[in-house]
Structure 1
Amino acid sequence: MDGSDGIAALTPDETPRTVVHPAESELPRFVDKYFLRTKEVVAKFGDVDVTYAVFMRRPVTSAPRLAMQWLERMAKARGVEIRIDLKQKEGSWVGAGEPIMYVSGSLYHLIDLETQFLQKLGACCVAAYNAYVMCAEMQKTAFLAMDARHCAGTEMAEMMAYGASVGSAKAQRKLGAVGFIGNASDETAHFFDKDRGYGTMPHALIGYAGSTVRAAEMFHETHPEENLTVLVDYFGQEFTDALAVCRRYPELAAEGRVAVRLDTHGGRYVEGMDIGMSYQVLDRNAPQAIRGYRTDNELRYLIGTGVSAAAIWHMRERLDRDGFKAVKIVASSGFSPEKCRVMALANAPIDVIGTGSYLPEKWSETYATADIVNYGGEERVKVGREFLLEKTRTEHRET
């Protein structure tokens, strides 16, 4: 488990590039009404200094930066002091119910910030946890964050990219993993220390071109300096089309500038394969995988339809057999932490995984919670959350 040394606050240079939403001027329109009415009660009967304990109900990886930055901007806009005692630094493992931070200040100025603050914390922490697990399972494979299309708006896309970058950085630091090398859009590329997003072609370009090879030609003529990653599942001829593109660009292929992307959906097997052939491919390349699976779902990832470990191994076999050993394999379609674990079990020869499946599968698991544990110097918390008081006392004794 990582350490939990706190930091007081972030510097202005660390603020995100995107516009912080909601701004202080528009905040009341987005705040739960009971917070606004409580704010009016406090204004009438007197303010008090309070301390919130902020925690998650499941284990996560701490990813507090966006939430903290928003809180600090609100404090600056209001001209008040909000004290943040971060107990779990960015990238650290956090247990269920364990406070990530304590937030202290005027109840009048904190009470209407809770909803938006928690929105910017919980989902990031779960995404960071999932991204770390995936990178840890496949330490030699690069990951590309392709979550944006699955997000509910640009704010969520920012949070998910940030979460992936935190989990990735932790895996790189602790395990030497390759981790996430970038993402799909320019706006959030800075989280991965990049100036722009990555990507070549969607299925729409294949359909527009009328053939996979023609789509590759169009792309290369338009972007000759870019590496060529070609989707090969559009016509259900994954191996045929992959080899055709390689033969069309043998020089690029020999230079390692060609990659084939397997994105076959789960409704069919890749070209020419079935369950029997899938078993044979794995028996040649990763016999330990068949003996190591634990659930029916894991078996499906090994020898089932869609982008299975067997399909990836067979693509590697076909490319190598035809002399295209430098051509890379990019895999996408449902690469969750569980699927990554199975691919690692099969030692699947994947160079890059394109994934949005580190996004929280159960949104209820992303709910961050904040409870006030101190009012004007007096410890007080609702029944059932007394454990937070003990944690607060422990923290104070240690400091």
Structure 2
Amino acid sequence: MATAIHLIIGAGQAGANAAMAMREAGFAGRIVLVGAEPHRPYERPPLSKAMLTADPEPPVPYFHDPARMAERAIELVAGMPAVAIDAAAQRVALQDGSTLPYDRLLLTTGGRARRLSIPGGEGILYLRTLDDARAIRPRLVPGARIVCIGAGVIGLEIASSARTRGCAVTVLEAAPAAMGRSLTPDFARYMADLHARAGVALHFGTAITAIAGMRVICADHATEADCVIAGVGIERNTELAAEAGLAVDGGIVVDAFGRTSAANVYAAGDVTAFWHPRFGRRLRLEAWRHAQNHGIAVGRVMAGGAAPYDDVPWFWSDQHGVNLQVAGLPAMAARTVLRGDETAPSFAAFHLDEGGCVVAATGVNAPREVRAAMALIAAGRPVDAAALADPKMQLQRLVADVKKVAS
């Protein structure tokens, strides 16, 4: 009997964790992990933080060292992009002309930095990969004029890192608020104020029309720059899937078990548009925790498991010495309950739906509150808003009470 082969295309957070999960769940066949980058799997969050600010450059944040991967018999093919999937023949073609067979295929192709198409934009830098971080790092020198295009998580983390290195930083954002896709208006204002206090010049509602020499040209002004870095989101790498005939809707469409529209083909991580049973909707997320946990969940399914992926969304960001954490989906909230004083070093907010259930939480230097919120989100039961707001009320007691009702 031939040995079964699980082939994984994409050697990032989702793919590498899926490979480990398959093996640890008991899959005894071959696991082949194919990555387009020449590096072995590494963590991305440090790229916008320590990889830009630490002196000297810190070690590459690899995970799953070679010894562990060898022990688990995970075969890594690095620096070799996949170029086509033949779903009928169950084979994947690689850039060098070779092909790999599979019994089950997992697509964890993630995304790439979205590029700006503007006159003179050829010199804009982007941050998505280790090589990107190494290209940006030497530009962040004291006094350098750094212009960050985009006030999302990546743009603001780069701005924070650049200020740490003594740069003069300007952030240009087309939208009216900071991190507008991820935060409620109150927290968007908090983050904008945080950057302003740190000396970052912020401009919202700003349309960039061109880059001319050392100047970033906007509709109403121009900004001098020694380096321009854009953080304007990602484009999901769905081309392989679409060309193979898989369903794509802003991401590779998968069910709660990571199954695509093609037999024996699965997908996980940033590249997916996945069904979330807890929220009853299809989601598209771009976060470290999602990539890791979705990869683990789908890897287990491919090894014979039967548990759906229903993880509570969560992400974090460190900016100017402040740790921001967001759990759940703030956009679903009908009201917000503040716990603590928003002028204090640590505080949190719980976001409730119309039925009084916690659907999200945002914390500033408040990891315990966010952890408790994640348990409340998972329970899906109404919570006493006054108790949430009372700093004297132990959140673990509320969690215990809600879990008791849920059971």
Q: How does the TM-score come out when normalised to structure 1?
A: 0.23
Q: Which has the higher contact order (CA 8 A, sep 6+)?
A: 1
Structure with greater Cα Rg: 1
TM-score (norm 2): 0.22
